[in-house]
Structure 1
Amino acid sequence: MRLKSRFHVKSGVTDLWDYVREPRPFRWTLLLLSAMIPAGALLALSQESHLRPPDPPKVTFINTFAEGRTDEEILLSNIENQRRKEAREAERAELLERKVEAYKTLGRATGLDVDEMAREAELENAREAAEAEARQREYYQAGETVAAGTE
C-alpha cells in the first residue's frame, strides 16, 4: 500500500475544521494549549547560546632526574637501565623455555609427537618473521618514495 494514497491533506484539514466548529466546552482553550506546547518546545530549542571555550589544562611537569646531571651520569644510568632490561628479558626467556618444556612433557605423557610439533612451530615462526620483515621493508620503501616525492 502506497503512503501517498493513505494520507490526504484536504480530508485532514476538513476533519480538523469540523471538529473545531462543533460546540464543545473549552475547545478554544484546548486548541490554544495544543498549539502552545510544540511552539514552546521549538522556542526553547531554537534559543541561541554561546558556550565559552574550556579552560586550558594545567600541566604539571614531573622531573625524576637530578637537574644538574652530567653526560657521564646520564651514560651510566642508561647502561644500568640497559642491564636491568636485559636481565628482565633473560628471565622472561627462561620462564618461556620452562613453560615450553612443561608442555612438551605433558605432550609426551599423552602420546603426542612433540618434536614434530616443535619443528612445525619453528617453521611457522620463521614464516611469520619473514612476512613481518617483508612488510617492514615494504613500509620503509614506501616511506622513502613518499619522502622523495615531497622534496
Structure 2
Amino acid sequence: MGMLNNWDIGGGVSDFWDYVRQPRPHRWTSWGVAIAIAILLFWGFGKYLIPYEKPKPQIIYFENWKADRSEADIRADWIARARETTRENARRRAEFQKLADMMGVDYDSREADRVTRETLGKEADTLDEKPAPPKRSTLAERAARTPPPPADEAPRR
C-alpha cells in the first residue's frame, strides 16, 4: 500500500528519456513503426468504430404556379395562406391559454383573438370546438354486452 502513495513521476520520465536517448540499432525504425501503428489505430477507430453517414439527397417539393395567373388568383392564394396561418396560430394560442390557466399565469390573448375574428369572421367561433373524443365504454357496459355463459356450464370463480 505504501508503494501506491509515493509516486515519483519525475524519476519515471527521466528514466524514459535516458532510454530514448541511448543510441540503439533500429531506434528510428522502431519509433516510426510505433507512430505508424498509433496513427493507424486512431484512423481505424475514427473510420470504422464511429462511422459517418453521408447525408442522403433530399427532394424538396415546392408549389408551381402558372405564369399567366391573374392578380386576383395571386391575392386569393395569399389570403388562403394567411387564413390557414391565422387558424393555426389560434389553435396554438388556445393550447397556451389552457397551459396558463393550469399554471395560474395571466395570459391575455384578447388582441390576438380580435385580429383572428377580423380575419376569419364566423369561422373563428368554430376553432375552439373540438370533435368529441370517442366514448369509451365502462367495464360494466362491456360486461353487459357479453353473452351469458351456457346454462350447463357453471360460472368460473
Q: Normalization by structure 2: what TM-score?
A: 0.28
Q: Normalization by structure 1: what TM-score?
A: 0.29
